[in-house]
Amino acid sequence: MRTVKRLLAGAAVAAGLTGSPAWADGPVRIALVAKSLGNGFFEAAHRGAQEAAKELGNVEIIYTGPTATTAEGQIEVINTLIAQKVDAIAISANDPDAVVPALKRARQRGITVLSWDSGVAREGRELHLSPSSSALIGQTIIKLAADELPDGGEVAVLSATSTSTNQNVWIAEMNKVLDKYPTIKVVATVYGDDLADKSYRETQGLLQTYPGLDAIIAPTSVGIVAAAQAVADAGKIGQVNVTGLGLPSEMAGAVESGASKSFAIWNPVDLGYSATYLAHQLATGKAQAKPGAEISMGRMGAAKLDENNEAAMSTPFKYDKSNIAEFKSVF
């Protein structure tokens, strides 16, 4: 039945129709799949998805994900959503390739599939929405560290999983601009698997292995909080600056204590909102994912797809003592 609906939706697009499809006999069911449940970043994205659903009308959000950041867990979730016959799946992937077969099955059954935040290989989705330009994120995270080290120093990276698409791309983009900071030395990259306890232990290992460490860059909202706590517990506030990507609500204490001088993030509420809007546009046949297409993201403007059917939402924003109080109650 949903395959027929999708075909009719395509016909509506071809005819230039912009209203709600005549076949809609219930809410458009959009599944927002997180890397793992219990993560503040994805909880905020869920709030944005609910905002978009309310704005669009006749939309049901199914917020789900595995309990741990594994591809296997997400595959189980995807299979369940296929059985539930949802209209769209919007996923932040733990592995870009491992989830592809399951997502292909979803697409074969007429389910719209897009990735957001952490991407899926192109054959597994219709489009990917990055929170920002990968190049800008990479440039931002190294600049945040370098700005606090005018005389240079040693920097380590605390990432999420070794297979996390977005983390790896951001770190690669960071490495591309290291020649702009000749006095900065990146001494190690470790992986906390987006788990607070493991990220904390990895930070402890960095502090022990590199006693002269000056900064830790954690481009993960879980890792940055754990790293800041480990630095504080080690009595190294003022010696080691923790920066990267985090949520204001979770990083306010670290900024106030001095464990983190500054960090950056896009608004995950906006990201969940935008992903939901795109999923709705595709699932209802109001837009098609193809290179060059511009697809509405509501109040966030339009996503312009490149040759790989990828788009960026916005640029990262810096948070520090000057503005953390304003944003910590927002997300």
Q: Is 27 exposed, middle or buried (0-12, 13-18, 19+ CB in 10 A)?
A: middle
- Can you give the pLDDT at residue 314? 84
- Can you give the pLDDT at residue 315? 83
- Asked, for residue 216, whether it belongs to a domain, the answer is yes
- Asked, for residue 173, whether it belongs to a domain, the answer is yes
Per DSSP (E only), the strands in 24-152 are 28-33, 59-64, 88-91, 112-116, 127-130
Of 169, 165, 162, give the one whose Cα is nearest residue 137.
169
Q: What is the three-class DSSP state of 175?
A: helix
How many domains does the chain contain in total?
2
- Can you give the pLDDT at residue 24? 55
Q: Are residues 118 and 211 in the same domain?
A: no
Enumerate helices (H) and strands (E) in the chain, giving the number of each.
Answer: 11, 14
- Asked, for residue 314, whether it belongs to a domain, the answer is no
Q: Are residues 323 and 190 in the same domain?
A: yes
Q: Encode pLDDT of 213-238 as tens digits.
A: 999 999 999 999 999 999 999 999 99
Q: Are residues 178 and 283 in the same domain?
A: no
- Asked, for residue 310, whether it belongs to a domain, the answer is no
Domain of 100, CATH number, reads 3.40.50.2300
Q: Are residues 38 and 93 in the same domain?
A: yes
Q: Count CB-CB contacts under 10 A for residue 137.
A: 26
Tens digits of pLDDT across the chain (331 residues): 444 344 444 433 333 333 334 335 789 999 999 999 999 899 999 999 999 999 999 999 999 999 999 999 999 999 999 999 999 999 999 999 999 999 999 999 999 999 999 999 999 999 999 999 999 999 999 999 999 999 999 999 999 999 998 999 999 999 999 999 999 999 999 999 999 999 999 999 999 999 999 999 999 999 999 999 999 999 999 999 999 999 999 999 999 999 999 999 998 999 999 999 999 999 999 999 999 999 999 999 999 999 999 999 988 999 999 999 989 988 8
- Can you give the pLDDT at residue 5? 43
Helix (H) or strand (E) holding 262: strand 262-265
- Can you give the pLDDT at residue 29? 98
The model's pTM: 0.81
- Asked, for residue 138, whether it belongs to a domain, the answer is yes
CA distance 265 to 132: 9
Q: Are residues 123 and 148 in the same domain?
A: no
Q: Are residues 219 and 188 in the same domain?
A: yes
Q: Are residues 323 and 177 in the same domain?
A: yes
Range of the domain at 272: 2-131+268-300
Count Cβ neighbours within 10 Å for each residue of 75-100 and write b for 16 or more, e otherwise: bebbeebbeeebbbbbbbbbbbebbb
Q: Are residues 222 and 77 in the same domain?
A: no
Q: Are residues 40 and 56 in the same domain?
A: yes
- Can you give the pLDDT at residue 20? 39
Q: Are residues 207 and 282 in the same domain?
A: no
